Structure 1
Amino acid sequence: MVSQEVSDLDQPTVGQKEKITYQASCDSVELGEDHDVEKEFSDFVQLGEKLKTKGTFWNNFKNVEFPITFKNRNNMVYFLGVFTSFAGILSGVDQSIISGAHIGMNKALQLTQHENSLVSSLMPLGAVGGSILMTPLSENFGRKKAMLVSGILYTIGAIICAAALDNETMYAGRFILGLGVGIEGGSVGVYIAECVPPNQRGNLVSLYQFFIAFGEVLGFAIAAMFFGIHGGWRYMLGSSLLFSTILLVGLMFLPESPRYLAYNNKYAEAINVYDRLRDTSDHSSKVEFLELIKSAKAERELRARQSRIQVWLDLFTIARNRRALFYTVIMVSLGQLTGINAVMYYLSTMMANIGFSSENAVFMSLVGGGALWLGTIPAILYMDRFGRRVWGMNLVGFTFGLVLVGVGYLIPLDTNKPAALGIYLTGLILYMGFFGAYACLTWVLPAESFSIGTRSLGMTICSSFLYLWAFTVTYNFNRMKTAMTYTGLTIGFYGGIAFLGFFYQIFFMPETKGKTLEEIDEIFEKPAIEIAKENSRNMKRFLGSF
């Protein structure tokens, strides 16, 4: 019989022992002590079985879940990845649809340029607040329930925006939508990273950016669909209701993260969820679960001796955490300070300035949105094959696109309109396409870089920076393009930041492809200068092969 006391499972087991090594690509991580894998894993399985015999209805009710299981566990992994990432559609639709809604909304609500900027920028500002809320929600109620809260906020925000009769009501609706975006953005990546196998983590977390980009295309399409209808902007802004309903229903079929459950001492629930996501007859899956338990137990014991303030301080005082935080904040900042949100929110306006009519500008926005969406597809298929460092080089492609966009604005429309439109659209397509591929990194890297005890907190800070920069570039877009011109803004400011980011990635970006979350802990134990030296040696070998 298996003792129900968790402490029994923490003791060394008797019987034949073996040194466990979990192979992941070319590297491995050891459990650190002798373990009888089969015996220890079966102990956890028995705990799970005992929980099932006690009845699962109350458990499922508490977890807001109607469990489903696939015979092929990979299908469950894909189902979880796709439905969770579907949340990105809401974020994408709300980012792009405001571009088309501006035209009718500005007239109906008689918005000034400053009020117009606030309507666009209050959503990312609200997302900063949502990112801050994400940590207490995610840690106290679970990753999945945090996403449920975000879906509810989306629904409330969409109703308020669609019914707004003045700018103040619109501000409130956009801010509430932002709260949903911030909670979702921080929760989705962590949830997927904690649930899926390491060799599928990059692809499935990238799926979130795919759905964001698809939502942006959908937002432009919805805007074009309702553009000619009286009061069409209200239908545009209210369309989020459909997608938030689908998200809320889909989440009810998904389990809680097994790592979150293990961290909260719910081993029986953790093994039952894990069994739905892995082929537990496979030896490496058993070892991965035991590593998960060991890591969760170590973090829990550490946090039990610390206050909440100490946990915050650990992000900065412990070298491993500080390196992960600095690295992920830099990468997130590169994804936002290169102008993507400003371009998305004002794409219809930019199209009009390059020579398109108001109606055609809305339709032509689909070109940029479509390129962004198509750019995410290679990330889903190939990021885990080529690795994070190679994927980071998409930054070069979208920098070149920014240069062409800036050059397009320099060509006089009255004397050479075809050339101006051709260069501008070519640059826009390149910028959006390469950025779509690159943006997937901004969700994958923070989700996998932090230790289990600091993961929610780390994601909160990264998400806060992401949306804070989005608010900054969006709110100041009109002022910056007036002061710097479109060309100076796209080439000088956005392009300049991308240029500096290229060299940071070359020297300081570690490779985390194919590694378990526990193995990634070891990478960030290395000083940054050691990572830079390794990257320099690898670059020399690579260049010397030609």
Structure 2
Amino acid sequence: MRKIPGNQEHRAWEMGVEGYAVDVPVTGINNGKITLSVVITCIVAASCGLIYGYDLGISGGVTTMPSFLLKFFPSVLKKAAATKPNIYCVYDSQILTTFTSSLYIAGMFATLVASRLVKTLGRRNVMLLGGSTFLVGSALNGGAVNVAMLILGRMMLGFGLGFTNQAAPIYLSEVAPPKWRGAFGTGFQFFIGIGVLAASCINLAAAKHPHGWRFCLGLAIVPAAIMTFGALFISDSPSSLVERNKLEQAKRALLNIRGKDTDIEPELALLIRNSEMAKAINEEPFMTIFQRQYRPQLVIGMLAIPFFHQMSGINAVAFYAPVLFQSVGMGNDSALFATIILGMVNILSILVSAFAIDRCGRRFLLMEAGIQMIITEVGVAIVLALTTGTDGTKRISKGYAVLILVLMCFYAAGFGWSWGPMNWLIPIEIFPMKIRPTGQSVGIFVNFAATFLVSQTFLTMLCHLKYGTFLFYGGWILVMTIFAALLLPETKGIPLESMHTVWEKHWYWRRFVQG
């Protein structure tokens, strides 16, 4: 093995290139300085989460609006009008769930295309493309006259989310100072929470209007316009500019976000060196990620975290919170108001994460929240089992409905300061530059595939498993927590270019990177 010598006291290793171990100096790299420019830039990039959050929040409320159901899904209204329905099965309709889940089919395929576009066009331009596509989908949904047009609009939204969910988290991790990368990385999840809360408030305001559903779906144009317009005024990330041989632009971008009085030469040199090594190999990225030395990134970043993120059941709650609260005895307005409360708790918990993630570390938050979420899922199952009966025909009292809301708030809080932001942060942190876009692409594909599975099956599971649905997700959260405790290394404060050290020190993963 050949070495390219560098500073022997301060080194960053970019592993995985056959035949080389590269030493590059990292002395003087900005590790913690926060400038106004980097804050504004990261806010703009994180605002891409608005469109994802808005869609998550709006779809659940719209699917409970009588005017929407009457026009597109009248069979659901007939079931709800039954004299003594099973409360778990009122909204069990595969066509209705297709309205929600069709977005994620499109998103799955869009993110595979986006991995190439992120490398060739840059992170910023892919954000612009995603925002523009989402605008088209919003217009189609707002003006839909039949189910086919409705689902076509959802698919356009999916393409938009596939592009923005690919580009924005990468951009945030590459631009943020390493010391505070966790806090900046939670920005994407924070804007998702803002989008969910805004959508819940709009659902409540528009619920009784005969065309309220059009207003709700069409208003998705606003968050899409905000993030698209904002992206016009930021530069691409220095890593992306170096990757595309735009070195002068990369230098200007680095000076802008790190501060004019900062020596950016060491960081720029490191980016150039890593980029040159990645290009020298000239391997197909989709084949490279299956090499033995990338096994930790493959298992953790591309499979486990995106899959577990969805199997926590959070998007089942996000999609169907109004449906869920109506099913357990709340009126339509009360159910929508309960969803707003859930959204506010989620936002507050994300702020807690922004404060704690770089202090307490990723693993601690994941394990603590895992225990908290398991307790609340089991609690919801017990309350439902005791109050609704085995056949699900009993209506529970308002007091117990409020208790379920309180338990769901504790569940949402745990998710908000753990698996929510970690899903967007940890995978990006652990991917080396050469496979970062590809790794993120595969991870989002898995996330969207799991989201499709959850959204398409939750109402059917609720109908057949009843309260056991929450035990099902509680079991998955137990698996997730054990995984975090045993197989997830701590990554807080480690520069992206030095992330190899976490694998070399880990009791299990070191056998792959040192073998």
- Global fold match (TM > 0.5): yes
SS at match of 1:346: helix
Q: Which moved more, 1:424-433 or 1:455-464?
A: 424-433
Q: Determine if contact 2:11/2:25 at 8 Å carries over to the other structure.
A: no
Aligned partners of 2:183 and 2:323: how far apart in 1?
34
Query: Which of 151, 172, 184 is equivalent to 1:192?
Result: 172
CA gap of 1:408–1:125, structure 2 versus 1, over 3 A, is farther
Output the TM-score relative to the length of structure 1. 0.81
CA gap of 1:276–1:412, structure 2 versus 1, over 3 A, is same
Over residues 283-339 of structure 1, what are the superposed CA-to-partner deviations in whole Å (9 max), with x where a residue is unaligned? 5x4323322222111112122xx3x3xx2111012x232211201221221110121
1:373 equivalent in structure 2: 347
Aligned partners of 1:156 and 1:415: how far apart in 2?
42
- Which residue identity lines up with residue 242 of structure 1 in the other structure? V
Query: Which of 461, 469, 475 is equivalent to 1:480?
Result: 461
Q: Determine if contact 2:111/2:163 at 8 Å carries over to the other structure.
A: yes
1:396 equivalent in structure 2: 371
SS at match of 2:434: coil
Q: Determine if contact 1:22/1:288 at 8 Å carries over to the other structure.
A: no
Aligned partners of 1:73 and 1:402: how far apart in 2?
39
Query: Which of 45, 69, 81 is equivalent to 1:106?
Result: 69
In the alignment, is residue 84 of structure 1 matched against residue 45 of structure 2?
yes
- Which residue identity lines up with residue 276 of structure 2 in the other structure? K
State which structure, 1 or 2, has the greater radius of gyration over its C-alpha atoms: 1
Q: Determine if contact 1:449/1:520 at 8 Å carries over to the other structure.
A: yes
Over residues 164-197 of structure 1, what are the superposed CA-to-partner deviations in whole Å (9 max), with x where a residue is unaligned? 0000100100111011112111211101111121
In the alignment, is residue 509 of structure 1 matched against residue 488 of structure 2?
yes
Over residues 314-373 of structure 1, what are the superposed CA-to-partner deviations in whole Å (9 max), with x where a residue is unaligned? 1012x2322112012212211101211111111111111111112322222112222222
CA gap of 1:20–1:281, structure 2 versus 1, over 3 A, is farther
CA gap of 1:86–1:314, structure 2 versus 1, over 3 A, is same
CA gap of 1:412–1:195, structure 2 versus 1, over 3 A, is same
CA gap of 1:18–1:495, structure 2 versus 1, over 3 A, is closer
2:445 equivalent in structure 1: 464
1:530 CA drift (Å): 5.3
Q: Which moved more, 1:237-246 or 1:353-362?
A: 353-362
Over residues 450-491 of structure 1, what are the superposed CA-to-partner deviations in whole Å (9 max), with x where a residue is unaligned? 111100000001001111101101101122122211x21111
CA gap of 1:168–1:73, structure 2 versus 1, over 3 A, is same
SS at match of 2:358: helix
1:407 equivalent in structure 2: 382
SS at match of 1:429: helix
More helix by share: 1
Aligned partners of 1:74 and 1:206: how far apart in 2?
18
Written as runs of structure 1 = structure 2, the 5 A alignment for 1:266-415 is: 266-279=246-259, 281-282=261-262, 285-303=264-282, 306=283, 308=284, 311-317=285-291, 319-328=292-301, 329-393=303-367, 394-412=369-387
SS at match of 1:32: strand
Q: Which moved more, 1:348-357 or 1:358-367?
A: 358-367
In the alignment, is residue 450 of structure 1 matched against residue 431 of structure 2?
yes
Q: Determine if contact 2:54/2:196 at 8 Å carries over to the other structure.
A: yes
1:137 equivalent in structure 2: 117
Q: Determine if contact 2:383/2:404 at 8 Å carries over to the other structure.
A: yes
CA gap of 1:480–1:160, structure 2 versus 1, over 3 A, is same
- Matched positions, count: 472
Q: Determine if contact 1:31/1:291 at 8 Å carries over to the other structure.
A: no
Written as runs of structure 1 = structure 2, the 5 A alignment for 1:80-229 is: 80-102=41-63, 103=65, 104-110=67-73, 112=75, 113-229=93-209
SS at match of 1:453: helix
1:3 equivalent in structure 2: none
- Which residue identity lines up with residue 476 of structure 1 in the other structure? T
Q: Determine if contact 1:83/1:251 at 8 Å carries over to the other structure.
A: yes
- Which residue identity lines up with residue 361 of structure 2 in the other structure? G
- Which residue identity lines up with residue 486 of structure 2 in the other structure? F
Q: Determine if contact 2:115/2:441 at 8 Å carries over to the other structure.
A: yes
Aligned partners of 1:416 and 1:100: how far apart in 2?
21
CA gap of 1:298–1:426, structure 2 versus 1, over 3 A, is same
- Which residue identity lines up with residue 443 of structure 1 in the other structure? W
Aligned partners of 1:161 and 1:415: how far apart in 2?
34
Q: Which moved more, 1:91-100 or 1:157-166?
A: 91-100
Output the TM-score relative to the length of structure 2. 0.86
CA gap of 1:191–1:18, structure 2 versus 1, over 3 A, is closer
SS at match of 2:330: coil
Aligned partners of 1:472 and 1:314: how far apart in 2?
28
Q: Which runs of 5+ in 2 are unaligned?
A: 13-20, 76-92, 389-393
CA gap of 1:111–1:137, structure 2 versus 1, over 3 A, is farther
2:15 equivalent in structure 1: none
CA gap of 1:33–1:220, structure 2 versus 1, over 3 A, is closer
CA RMSD for the aligned pairs?
Answer: 2.6
Aligned partners of 2:458 and 2:326: how far apart in 1?
16
CA gap of 1:221–1:299, structure 2 versus 1, over 3 A, is same
Q: Which runs of 5+ in 1 are unaligned?
A: 1-10, 24-29, 42-71, 533-546
Higher relative contact order (CA 8 A, sep 6+): 2
SS at match of 2:397: helix
Q: Determine if contact 1:202/1:383 at 8 Å carries over to the other structure.
A: yes
CA gap of 1:461–1:251, structure 2 versus 1, over 3 A, is same
In the alignment, is residue 32 of structure 1 matched against residue 5 of structure 2?
no
CA gap of 1:395–1:424, structure 2 versus 1, over 3 A, is same
